[in-house]
């Protein structure tokens, strides 16, 4: 995979220090890896902006790497929130219709938001701990038991429960979820 060469300079066009450059480049590499569908040019541009910000606050920033990650991550989040990546190709009525209407990306974004909401509400703190341990590669019940300070059996059951909950959430069709939601609402009434 080819790497993008970043032009990392401050406002006066001076090169960033080695530590600052390493920090920005590490954050940029991470962003490229984590968000492969994002426009590489946009990512590079944001990383360079982060570099400018880092140089500006050079004295006050204790951990440049931490700053670079947080700043670049913030820019990516902002980009997702604003939906600025949506391509607008206006010219024929079909394109216009697509633009005005709900495109696939927007639908996916909504779906994602709903799922995140569900994860936050349906999973308790222990479930989230287990999930984050699984994502760190701590997958055996023995290790999870040590991490959570519970018995082996309890850890094994908890892992299974989390997996079941996640698959229930992810496998359900949106329409199914909607109908479940509406039935829940009607029962509440």
Identity of the residue, 98 or 118, whose beta carbon is nearer to another protein in the bound complex: 118
CB hemisphere CA count around 179 (13 angstroms): 4
Shortest Cβ 60–another protein spacing (Å)? 14
Q: 23 burial class (0-12, 13-18, 19+ CB within 10 angstroms)?
A: buried
Indicate whether 109 belongs to the interface with another protein (CB under 8 A).
no
The two tokens of residue 83 are 């939906």
Binding to another protein by residue 85, rule CB under 8 A? no
In angstroms, give the least distance from the CB of 45 to another protein: 19
Angle at 30 between CA 115 and CA 49, to 5 degrees: 105
Query: Which residues 37-56 are close enough to bind another protein by CB under 8 A?
Result: none
Give strand ranges (E) for 16-106.
none
Q: Which residues bind another protein (CB under 8 A)?
A: 26-27, 29-30, 33-34, 63, 65-66, 69-70, 73, 77, 112, 115-116, 119-120, 125, 128-129, 131-133, 135-138, 143-144, 146-149, 166-167, 170
């Amino acid at each position: 995979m080819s790497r993008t060469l970043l032009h990392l300079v401050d406002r006066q066009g001076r090169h960033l220090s080695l530590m600052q450059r390493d920090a920005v480049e590490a954050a940029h590499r991470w962003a490229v890896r984590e968000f492969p569908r994002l426009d590489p040019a946009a990512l590079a541009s944001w990383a360079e902006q982060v570099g400018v910000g880092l140089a500006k606050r050079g004295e006050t920033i204790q951990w440049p790497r931490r700053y670079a990650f947080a700043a670049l991550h913030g820019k990516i989040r902002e980009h997702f929130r604003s939906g600025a990546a949506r391509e607008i190709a206006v010219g024929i009525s079909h394109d216009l219709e697509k633009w005005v209407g709900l495109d696939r990306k927007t639908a996916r974004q909504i779906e994602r938001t709903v799922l995140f909401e569900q994860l936050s509400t349906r999973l308790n703190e222990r479930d989230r701990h287990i999930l984050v341990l699984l994502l760190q590669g701590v997958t055996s019940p023995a290790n999870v038991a040590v991490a959570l300070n519970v018995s082996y059996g309890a850890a094994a059951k908890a892992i299974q429960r989390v997996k079941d909950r996640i698959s229930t959430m992810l496998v359900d069709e949106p329409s199914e979820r909607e109908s479940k939601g509406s039935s829940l609402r009607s029962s509440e009434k």
